[in-house]
Chain A
Amino acid sequence: MRAAALVSLVGRDLRRSMRTFWVAALGIAAGVATLVFFLGLAAGMRAVVFGKILPLDQVEVIPPESSVGSVLSMLGARPPGIDEAQARALRRAEGVRLALPRLRLAFPTSGRGGRAMFGRDVGSGEIPADGVDPTMVRGDLRPGADFEDPIGRASNRPCATDADCGAASGEFCDLVSLPVSGQPRPAGHCSPPIPAVVSPYLVEVFNGAIAPAHGLPRLGDLLLRQAEGLILEWDLGRAGLGAARQGTPRRVHAKLVGVSPRAMDLGVTVPMAVARRLNREYASEDAATRYSSVVVYLRDPSRMTEVAARVRAEGLEVRTRGAEQMGLLATAVTVILSLASVVTVLVAALNIAHGFAAMIAERRGELGLLRALGATRRDVRLLLVLEAAAIGAGATALGLAAGRAAAWGCDVVARTRLPDFPFKPDTWFVFSGRMVLGVLLFGVAACVLAALRPAWRAAKTDPAAALSGGVG
């Protein structure tokens, strides 16, 4: 039978079949709609969780965490850390795309700033900070900004206030000690601010939790550009919970020069040279030379377990921040929800099978006639299977459209009704072409499989016996 004739017959039969199959087709559509909805939601959640919150392609390598080490460190023994040789070995390890050493400031700091932007200073009693190699964040800096230790460029002119340094100089008045209320302001010297970057994670936390709680504006793209350049008064060696073991607490200035995914999550990141210099001043030589962690970026996220095992074999630890467990959980939830949808589709496919069996009994005489007029058994099979495929394709397309519409509706509700929170996405769904194609094939395949047995039986219809009955 020619393809064009087959398609024409299928098209003509479909109009009749829909009277028999519309309920089953709606079942297929409903199953497909829920399936694509859940798959899209799962993909969307994975994109947010693993794209922004818990990137699956990176692990943080840390020194061995043991209570003994901490106690020894408190007693003045060498604190745990990763030395340069170990960092170099990590960079060369198989499966590692990039290894980024980090040096945490090993002493307390606090700070405040943002008066020009928010109308009042916003501060924190504890500001964690670390240092990274400038090359790691260079691509994330605002135009014209650099990420080097500014100490060599300082004029060191004596000053009492920032105004003494002159706005045009770009310098601020760093104080040699922290001001105490009721006492004369300490002496200062003019120095460029320390460049600092923050993470998108911190911006999200600010927008989702801090800004609403304090009545501050969210940092959208525009405000964020303004925020780059924000000056922070940064008190070194003293914070809300205590003071550094050595060094004199003093006040310096830091300048926000960019937002970088390679900055520390909750804190500020400064040039490695600054971190070394300040750790030397307020902590110890070891704290200035031994890295607190190395962030390892993987070539292939699926090899995380393998890389983690290699790291542990080197006597180091891996902090995955629960990404692996979250990944497993997300996969499990996706599988369960998808299975429910698949069952819906399969039940609908069973309806299709029953529908086809009934239709074939009803059209027995007609099938006999087709055989009498020249149809082969194969033609009859093809006719019915293609009809099932067409019903499946139509129902699946309807289901896909319904699933996408439901997703769009949920996005609208989420945008307009849900309060802002960190990492609130613009859309909760991701529909890839591959997913849509896979669901389409699944819907069609379910209908085709359902029709196979009835089609085979129909093809075996004895035309003589079938034509002994009658239609028309």
Chain B
Amino acid sequence: MSETPLPSPDPAVTAHLALRDVRKRYPGGRVALDGVSVSVAPGELVAVTGRSGSGKSTLLHVAGALDRDFEGEVRVLGRSLAALSDAEAAALRHASIGYVFQAFHLVASWTVRQNVALPASFAPAPVPDLAARVDRWIERVGLAGRGDDLPTALSGGQRQRVAIARALLMEPRILLCDEPTGSLDAETGASILGLFESLHAERAMTVLLVTHEARATAIATRVLTLDEGRLVDDVAQARGVA
């Protein structure tokens, strides 16, 4: 994948993700985030942990410009989400953020190749050598030769690899993962985490990994812990310590 140039970081941006005093209240009054402030530097692999309902996924949605109905300030690559129009937020998501979800969210009736190529549909101009780029990513995630298969013909781990290839097709600077191993068995989950680790090392991406699994926090360089919507712990670590 080395022939595709990495996005050049803006030297003025010291944090790829910056949240200041972010509060998120759902209709009905439940508080999901309660005054969270955190900054994620370029190239960090941050694990976000906590119990169910602690606000992990909400933090990821807010940081990824999927949910812009919050109080406080969120900056992504230096740009305040509050100042963006719907189209600008969509463009930011398209160009700079990749998402991987626990539920994969693949279109069952499309082939692996069509699923991986989907983000290119929203590019402002045709993506050069799209077919070759798609095939390279399919190969990179370990699915060479499966491009014409339907997701229904793949195992859970393979489907998550397809989702990872789709998330990385537009070469985002930030990768947001919401429980990516949550529905996989231990062995498959470990191989997916290994894939994240190697991709992070080779692409120098900023990764925010929401998880409640200890094995997932092991690959992180920093671990944030949420409890009832509050950030209760923020620990930098060497990989493999958890």
Contacts and interface: CB of A to CB of B under 8 A. Distances in A.
A153 interface: no
A468 to B, nearest CB: 7
A392 B96 CA distance: 37
A365 B67 contact: no
A214 interface: no
Given A12-B114, A372-B66, A472-B151, A1 B122 contact: yes
Interface in A451-472: 462-464, 467-472
Contacts of B86: 376-378
Contacts of A368: 66, 105
B241 interface: no
A379 interface: yes
B126 interface: yes
A464 B122 contact: no
Contacts of A4: 126
Contacts of B95: 374
Contacts of A370: 118, 122
Interface of A, secondary structure class, is: helix
A434 interface: no
B104 interface: yes
A333 B119 CA distance: 54
Nearest to B122: A374
A467 B120 CA distance: 20
A374 B91 CA distance: 6
A433 B146 CA distance: 49
A77 interface: no
B151 A2 contact: no
B176 to A, nearest CB: 9
A371 interface: yes
B90 A374 contact: yes
A376 B90 contact: yes
B107 A374 contact: no
A472 B108 contact: yes
Given A8-B121, A371-B66, A462-B67, A366 B107 contact: yes
A5 B99 contact: no
B87 interface: yes
B121 A365 contact: no
A15 interface: yes
A306 to B, nearest CB: 57
B109 interface: yes
A180 interface: no
Contacts of B166: 373
B87 A369 contact: no
Interface residues of B, number: 39
B126 A375 contact: no
B66 A464 contact: yes
Interface residues of A, number: 33
B124 A373 contact: no
**Residue among A374, A375, A470 with most chain B CB within 10 A:** A374
Contact of A2 (B66, B91, B108, B123): B123
Given A374-B91, A376-B90, A464-B61, A5 B105 contact: no
A470 B104 contact: yes
Given A15-B109, A366-B105, A471-B108, A373 B66 contact: no
B159 interface: yes
A332 interface: no
A9 interface: yes
B101 A373 contact: no
Contacts of B93: 371-374
Contacts of A365: 103, 105
Given A366-B107, A464-B61, A376 B66 contact: no
Contact of B105 (A12, A374, A378, A470): A470
A16 interface: yes
Given A12-B110, A467-B66, A468-B57, A374 B119 contact: yes
Given A12-B114, A371-B66, A374-B94, A471 B105 contact: yes
Contacts of B123: 2, 5, 374
B64 interface: yes
A5 B121 CA distance: 5
A369 B105 contact: yes
Contacts of A376: 86-87, 90
B102 interface: yes
A370 B107 CA distance: 11
A366 B91 CA distance: 18
Interface in B187-215: none
Nearest to B102: A470
Contacts of A462: 67
Contacts of A464: 58, 61, 66-67
A368 B90 CA distance: 12
B182 to A, nearest CB: 10
Interface in A350-407: 365-366, 368-379
Contacts of A15: 109
B83 interface: no
B235 interface: no
Contacts of A1: 121-122
A375 to B, nearest CB: 5
Interface in B129-188: 151, 159, 166, 170, 178
Interface of B: 57-58, 61, 64, 66-67, 86-87, 90-91, 93-95, 99, 101-110, 114, 118-126, 151, 159, 166, 170, 178
Interface of A: 1-2, 4-6, 8-9, 12, 15-16, 365-366, 368-379, 462-464, 467-472
11 contacts: A2-B123, A8-B121, A365-B103, A366-B107, A368-B105, A371-B93, A379-B90, A463-B67, A467-B61, A470-B102, A472-B104
| Across the A-B interface, the 7 shortest Cβ-Cβ residue pairs | A374-B94, A470-B103, A472-B106, A374-B122, A464-B61, A464-B67, A5-B121
Given A8-B121, A365-B105, A374-B91, 14 more contacts: A15-B109, A365-B103, A371-B66, A372-B64, A372-B99, A373-B119, A373-B166, A374-B93, A463-B66, A464-B67, A467-B61, A467-B178, A470-B103, A470-B105
